[in-house]
Structure 1
Amino acid sequence: MSERFDVLFAGLPEEKAIELLKTNPEDLKNPVEKYTAATRLAACQSDESLDALIEAIGLEQENLFNRITRRKVLEALGRRRDSRALPGLFSALAFDDEPSVINAVDSIAQIGSVLDEQQRKTLLNALEGSDNQKRSVIQAHARLGINEGDREISVLEQDANPLVAGAARAYAAKVHGRIDRLQPLIPQLTDPIAGRRRSAVIDLGDAGERSVLKHLVTSPVSMPLRAKSAFQIVDPEKTGLVPEPFTELITSLLQDNPMNMAIQQEWICESSVSEIEKNLQHRDEGKQYGGALTLLNMPSRQQLDAIDRIHDKFWSDYGANYLLTAVIGLKQVHERSDLVRTALAETLPQYAKSRVAAAWACLSLELNDQMELLQEIQLNAKWLPLKWSCEQVLKQMS
């Protein structure tokens, strides 16, 4: 998902970013520029910028900005997906800074190269860490398809921390074909604790088992996270093609109707604008969807007034923006089709999910005047859920 935010740093030239990365933060007027430079270089292609990132793994750590920069560097190297970074990334597994170790592990998995025996051993040894580090190491084993480590990882399927146990179960299913191990993750998709729901969505995506897709569709977790796992399951090669048997489920997931979701009663708020606003801004997506459900169920006149008030106050909030756009499409609120047009035309990366909702709203509201823009997005969008949504909408509008 971080690739969607490259536009925010595109104005920083590569040469300047390399210079900033190599500068002592104490010599910078704004030391934040040092780790911003690392993020910028993640989107570059040159050998010079790659070498600069690899060299920065060795930054001294007494300075806070150097520590943060190293973490960003390790993350950036994963996005570069160049195996020349592997020696530096493996050296980072010995660091005493947990976020650096986790970023290094994640980047090793992103690069996706076949590891030699010593590298596999070093990665497995990184299990000796915090629960967050354990989870990351197990995920790397699943994503790289590493058979070794089954004995050490399988015992963690019963770990008291569901984030560790879930990753271990996904590994068992993905690498060793033990699909039955995924069963405890299904009820976790509706757990009262949002973090557990989110981790279950990620784990089922890593497992790659298509039979769980129907459960992902109804889980009260953010649409982008569920979409990432769903496309990981049905389109692991990232071709942008969804097999016909799964088109209906993927469509349902992307249309994201709260009426079809497993929402607990306590997440549904009263029919007042102030309560809906509180829910839409809540950190727990279950509460957000509960607020959207209340808005969907309002009488038309009251609903229209609520949409206007929420729009006036929270349209710039990308969570509320998304759910408001979705509601307008799902309830076919023709009077506010202008908001759908606005959402579809928004190019800032944090509003990408609103564009998905707007695309489907164009279909339900029959906004044929948006077909040219839909075609442009379908051709140029890099985020698969947005690209695929526009493609499906255009097919049905033609």
Structure 2
Amino acid sequence: MDTRFSNIFNLTEDQAIALLQTPLDDLEDKTDRYIAASHLVNFPSERTVNALIEAIHNPDPHLYNRITRRKAIESLGRLKANIALPVICSCLADDDIYTVENSVWAIGEIGTDDATILEEIAKLLEKPQQSYRVIIQTLANFNYLPALERIKPFIDSDNEPIASSAIAAVARFTGDYSQIDKVVAFLTHSSVNARRACIQDLIDAKYYDAIPQIARCAVSIVFRLRGIRLLADAGKEEGKLSFSQIEPFLDQVMRDHPNDLDLVHQYEEIPPTEFLIQELYNTDFGRCYLATKALIENYAETVEDEVIKSYNDEAHNDYGAHYHVIKLLGWLKSDAGYEIVVEALNNRRPQFQKSRSAAAIALANYGDKKAIPLIQEALNTKVWELKYACLMALKELGEGNLQSYLTDEDDWMVKEKGNLLA
């Protein structure tokens, strides 16, 4: 389990359990119990599991208690707490659809071969207003064939993520991939939710042929890297993919230039820099990449000061915009922004990890060999994405013998990259 982002609230196990057991009326901040339920995922103990189960049993209908129950269910799923299955299964009949959704997801994480439980999940497909996507994904992951005919109607859903999951599930159940291109087509959908969702469905379906299109999808690099990595791991294990087949697309994603993406939005006329820089804060990364492209192509000689001002004002603390600014400074070869990029390379805050890889690539774009020792130092990490980006950057800067940095490397993809660059 990736826990890089988990331990943000700095609570001990005792403190988190005490908060979770505090009555709502006694709390200064009504969200504290939710935070506690979330944070307890860091403590896989019997006490934690019992405290989370106790929280689920709390019947208070208040909104803040409902969201705490949802989070407690999620945390038990992340902890893979098998002992909690009975109480989680009882929540499948809850009136709150989000509690039901989390329960289905948690059962999927914990695992079960109990056909009675799986049938209870399948029956939710016939119940109105449910989170059908999570239900379909979970049933497919359990390979629960009795649900197939109930899943098929969702192929024609107006909700793209639901339709995508249904198409992928039917392909997995039947081995018939004739409609999987409809899932691939969602990679260029105008809805960012549809684009993100279909990547997961292509992973679940082990549809290796989609790797080139995933590399070009206008969503955050996090989604694309995860998609390619999981497909690569599965393809290697099955003997269907070699690193040489994956490498060009992985490198393309690591460089992450907007010209290498299928941009799904467009401008009727070139907007002013003020608008474009503000677009770097958009939660739809497709719009961020479009803005980046426009800045590079139209304002490369004049926009540096505005970009740095935006960084100092806001982007330094906004992990989405931070990433795009770091990449942009590298493409602009901004002298005034060089130290910002160096700082990003060494930024250990969990939410800013993708900016570290971006910074390594950005430093290579500057073309200055003085960055080599900094990038070499950044190679001392357990994060494979950062190692991979550092290897690419060092090669770009003319550094040889990259294998010497990887003598104890246990990540097959990083090792293969080092061997090829040696």
Cα distance 1:303–1:274, how it changes in 2: closer, same or farther (>3 A)?
A: closer
Deviation larger for 268-277 or 56-65? 268-277
What's the counterpart of residue 34 of structure 1?
A: 33
Give the superposition deviation at 1:71: 0.8
Q: How does 1:202-351 map to 2 (within 5 A)?
A: 202-236=200-234, 243-264=243-264, 266-267=266-267, 270=270, 272-298=272-298, 300-316=300-316, 317-333=318-334, 336-351=337-352
Deviation larger for 117-126 or 78-87? 78-87
Q: Distance in 2 between matches of 1:72 and 1:78?
A: 10
User: SS of 1:5's equivalent?
Assistant: coil
What's the counterpart of residue 120 of structure 1?
A: 118
Deviation larger for 40-49 or 29-38? 29-38
Q: Distance in 2 between matches of 1:7 and 1:267?
A: 41
Q: Does 1:50 align with 2:49?
A: yes
What's the counterpart of residue 378 of structure 2?
A: 374
Q: Distance in 2 between matches of 1:205 and 1:65?
A: 35
Q: Distance in 2 between matches of 1:341 and 1:274?
A: 25
What's the counterpart of residue 406 of structure 2?
A: none
AA partner of residue 249 (structure 1): F
User: SS of 1:104's equivalent?
Assistant: helix
Higher relative contact order (CA 8 A, sep 6+): 1
Q: Distance in 2 between matches of 1:91 and 1:118?
A: 12
What's the counterpart of residue 405 of structure 2?
A: none
AA partner of residue 202 (structure 1): Q
Give the superposition deviation at 1:69: 0.7
Q: Distance in 2 between matches of 1:253 and 1:173?
A: 27
TM-score by length of 1: 0.89
What's the counterpart of residue 68 of structure 1?
A: 67
AA partner of residue 327 (structure 2): A
Give the superposition deviation at 1:231: 2.1
Cα distance 1:250–1:49, how it changes in 2: closer, same or farther (>3 A)?
A: same
Deviation larger for 97-106 or 321-330? 321-330
Cα distance 1:78–1:389, how it changes in 2: closer, same or farther (>3 A)?
A: farther
Q: Distance in 2 between matches of 1:286 and 1:306?
A: 21
Contact 1:205 1:228 in 2 (8 A): no
Give the superposition deviation at 1:95: 0.7
Q: Distance in 2 between matches of 1:393 and 1:126?
A: 50
AA partner of residue 369 (structure 1): P
AA partner of residue 158 (structure 1): D
Give the superposition deviation at 1:393: 4.7
Q: Distance in 2 between matches of 1:343 and 1:237?
A: 33
Q: Distance in 2 between matches of 1:147 and 1:299?
A: 56
User: SS of 1:376's equivalent?
Assistant: coil
Contact 1:269 1:275 in 2 (8 A): no
* Residue 190 of structure 2, aligned match among 189, 192, 195: 192
Contact 1:273 1:310 in 2 (8 A): no
Deviation larger for 19-28 or 98-107? 19-28
Contact 2:276 2:291 in 1 (8 A): yes
Give the superposition deviation at 1:292: 0.6
Contact 1:20 1:34 in 2 (8 A): yes
Contact 1:344 1:355 in 2 (8 A): yes
User: SS of 2:35's equivalent?
Assistant: helix
Q: Which runs of 5+ in 1 are unaligned?
A: none
Deviation larger for 296-305 or 99-108? 296-305
Give the superposition deviation at 1:360: 2.1
Aligned length: 391
Q: Distance in 2 between matches of 1:259 and 1:19?
A: 52
Q: Distance in 1 between matches of 2:304 and 2:332?
A: 11
Q: Distance in 2 between matches of 1:141 and 1:238?
A: 25
Q: Does 1:183 align with 2:181?
A: yes
Contact 1:268 1:293 in 2 (8 A): no
Q: How does 1:60-139 map to 2 (within 5 A)?
A: 60-111=59-110, 113-130=111-128, 133-139=131-137
Contact 1:142 1:175 in 2 (8 A): yes
Cα distance 1:306–1:252, how it changes in 2: closer, same or farther (>3 A)?
A: same
Q: Distance in 1 between matches of 2:77 and 2:269?
A: 42
Cα distance 1:279–1:299, how it changes in 2: closer, same or farther (>3 A)?
A: closer
Q: Distance in 2 between matches of 1:54 and 1:236?
A: 35
Cα shift readout 1:293-328 (whole Å, capped 9, x = no counterpart): 112224643243343333333322222211111123
Contact 2:360 2:375 in 1 (8 A): no
Give the superposition deviation at 1:8: 1.1
Contact 1:42 1:77 in 2 (8 A): yes
User: SS of 2:170's equivalent?
Assistant: helix
Cα distance 1:211–1:250, how it changes in 2: closer, same or farther (>3 A)?
A: same
AA partner of residue 86 (structure 1): L
TM-score by length of 2: 0.84
Give the superposition deviation at 1:156: 1.7
Q: Distance in 1 between matches of 2:286 and 2:209?
A: 23
Give the superposition deviation at 1:131: 5.5
